[in-house]
Amino acid sequence: MNKSIRLKLHPSEFQYNILVTDEEPFTSLAIKIRSLSYSNLILVTNTVVWKFYGSLIDSSFKRNGLTYSTVILPDGEKHKNIKTLQRIYDKMLLFKADRGSILIGLGGGVIGDMTGLAASTYMRGIRYIQVPTTLLAQVDAAIGGKTAVDYALMKNIVGAFYQPIFVYSNVNLLKTLSDRIYRAGMAEVIKYGIIKDRNLFLYIGKNSNDILSRSPKSLLSLISASSRIKAEFVEKDEKETSGIRVLLNFGHTFGHALESFTHYKILHGEAVGIGMIIAANLSYLLNLCEKEVPEKIERLVRAIKLPVSSNNLDMRYLSKSINYDKKSKADKINLILLKEIGMPVVYRMDKKMLKKILREVKI
């Protein structure tokens, strides 16, 4: 089954499809590439993903008469940096990439972010396609054109907004994920339910067993629903200028700080899960919502078997790290908090007050 979401940007009118499918992997991807005009294809991936899918994508492309070159990078967030980005540029020069070339990012959020950033900067911009292989990337990172690398322990601090021309999300690519990485991706799905779709929030709670067992039917529903929500936010606020898209950062301010605190030993989705609980508890302490709101969120995070706290979490470090957050300006920061499930709010807060009130958050 194929479910296609059309993302259309304003005022540029640039648009592209997000295909969510359970077909034999890479079938529609190869067909899509065959329909394009290009000088050469360069596939960027990592050693782990290539081990699982290298032969499969190779046979699919060959059946469709496609030739391509590969850039195979080491796996992991610690390699999401300028040095690795330079390796991509070096390979592109070696392959004689020009403005007619197309990059394909095959992997999770790290590969997708770096492929997109390389595409946005090489010859001032070439086309690229996202082929996300993790749940986290399929519902979030691959959609919307946020590209970046980490720098000086700051996550995604160097980057650009640059849209792909196609996103290919195949639920069958999630079969090879470890349970931990798969569950981490569910944090972003839960986030969509919290900030936009109460029914999605309830669906996750009622179908947690099917979701944890990776039922294709559940995955198609979750990924297509999440993709539509993400696309809606991006269409209304591509570069986070109107303030609407910033709502997608619910849980991320604290999550990113937690990732930095643990030196990325905690997965992004795990950090976001904890970050959402912190944000919900902060909302309650600020009298924005009832106590049942953070309680419901924590129960759902637990049901998906994600961590709800981090050992030895130092709230002083957390508040200090927030000073470097991209939503932080001077002595104020914009936090995404909650009035209730499905009703987020942008809350402008004094950093000194935040530091004080965070001491009351028990997590």
Q: Which residues are catalytic?
A: 124, 146, 188, 230, 240, 245, 249, 252, 256, 268
Q: DSSP per residue over 263-291, as a string?
A: TT-S-HHHHHHHHHHHHHHHHHHTTSS-T
CB-neighbour burial class of residue 316 (10 A; exposed 0-12, middle 13-18, buried 19+): exposed
27-34 vs 47-63: helix crossing angle, rounded to 10? 60
Strands (E), the chain: 2-8, 15-21, 41-46, 69-73, 102-107, 127-132, 146-151, 154-161, 166-170, 328-329, 332-340, 343-350
Strands of the sheet with 343-350, listed across from one edge: 328-329, 332-340, 343-350
Residues 6 or more apart whose CB falls under 8 angstroms from that of 51 comprise none
For the record, the structure tokens of 102 come out as 């197309």
Tokens 């104020």 correspond to: 332
